Structure 1
Amino acid sequence: MTFVLALQALQSGQLTTPGRRIALAAQAVLVFLPFPLTGHLWSAVPGLVAGTAPALLGTGAGWTVFGLTVTATSLLQTSAPASPLQALIATTATGLLVSGIASRPAAPPEPVGAALAQERLRVARDLHDLLGYSLSAIKLKSELAHRLVAEHPEKAQAHLSDVLDIAGNALADVRSLARSYRRLSLSETSHSAKTMLAAANIDVRVELDHDPLPEEIETVLATVLREAVTNVLRHSDAENCAITVRQTGDAVKLDVVNDGVTARPSSSDCNGVRNQAERVQAAGGVFVARHVGGDRFHVHAAIPIGT
């Protein structure tokens, strides 16, 4: 493990490209060495190899190595119940995180330092918004599949299929992030949110009443909805959740209200809430996240629609 981490540090240093490739190959050998010796792998560690490959080997070869590493890790963990699924999730999550770090450019001259800092904040915010929602969905679906696999294998298989779809969407999101822009559909996000909440035994009501929206506004509202649903799953014992999008006059308003809040689920200094407030305010809108009543939490975003 010490050598694996040391090689990871070397690849982030000043090695030449051939040197980094040699370090990656040595790291791959060490990562998979425990299997012939002990019959299992370190959890998530193969993600270091998977995540470094795209930045070092290029898009085609790199993502091919990423996929092969994730697949091999999962297949090699077939000796214990649920281990292949856990290996798949852990390796994919670690690999996506490492690939984001490994792909960042070298530090530019000082005059553009402020712009770089702002761009890093944007990338960090986008990674939080994209992967937070997807990984929450993967975790939920995986737990359901694990509980159902013995008595209801067909239902478990359906949840596992959803996990693969969500992981594929997460990968597409990361690629779109690399292109500095991604468009999200509010209707698709609402449907996905309803499916996730219903799978968690939460009674969901969704109401969409708006005209076609500018894609920038639709993306902001869809991102706010993703974060709100993620917080419902992570920070509450909700039994009911209402999602409403209404267009009134020259503004469109999103409201997400859930019950089951026994402890404070989020605050104005929480990364997710702060990210969404910044997005809505940048679009000229108003964002509020607060407790209402004894155990309910209300997320509200209102954005003006340009004429």
Structure 2
Amino acid sequence: MVLSLVEHDSGAVDDNSLEALTLARSVADDAGEALEAIAFGPEAEGVADDVGAHGVEVLNVVDHSDLDDYTPEAYARAVIQCAEETGTEAVVAPGTDRGSEILAHVAAKLDETMAAEVTDVEVGDTYELTRQRWGGTLIEHAELDADTNLLTVAPNEISTSGTGDGPADVSAFTPDLEDSDLRVRLTEVEESDVEGVPLAEARVVVSGGRGTDGDFSEIEDLADHLPNTAVGSSRAAVNEGWRPHDDQIGQTGNKIAPEIYIACGISGAVQHMVGCKGAENILAVNTDPEAAIIQKADWAVTGDLHEVLPAVSDELERRGHS
């Protein structure tokens, strides 16, 4: 059996978990095994339809009063016990902060190897993996041979698809926890006071770097003229104190996958490109025609962003986009 860890928001499965389910289903099909899922939280039963549509036969809903809120070591203990009870040969998790943390704890407790950032698996006597290294700047082909194969899936790299006929059967699973499993736990969630579309969900992202000289007004104005658009920034802009870290796109910031990424006054360092490589299209605006971002963009405008962006916003407004 193959077990996939599912993250959700009030019963709605997140996109990274759907990617993990898609790869897990492929692994299960190749191995001739059934696919099950495990989910936490009081609203976990609500994902039965979504996971069933992606080939999950049984949804194991963790039923424990101490696990309504995130507790990484206890979540890992539950995953291990569920995997042992169901005879799991592989556990697949989304490559999110939580998915990676939980599976790292699973690996440590089982004394097994965890393979992160996986994009493809060929199942044979061992698992032949394709995975990303150094934020996707390097592709590695590796072999994984373990009693329980542990994989996290690289975000925004797998096209999701549904093949199931109906909702998954729901089975309550109650883990046997130790006090030490509860040492670290989520105690409070502080909502961001920043309004607008989250970077990870935006169809369009307009981003600025050192070339803005700290003035993001034209970038914010352009974003206001476009639907489902978020404002991002380079690490340089964050380091200068011009934007909060939540806006940063790159290896140490957000990974985005919009339909179009508009990069303004950004040089295009490797670390930044790691964060935006999931974009379907890149439009670069830069005064330097030799900038790395220009070479990597689908379209480029050589010019001052403080002149180009207002002209674009004016044209959008003329066409009724306001």
TM-score with structure 2 setting the length: 0.27
The higher relative CO (CA closer than 8 Å, separation ≥ 6) is in: 2
TM-score (norm 1): 0.28
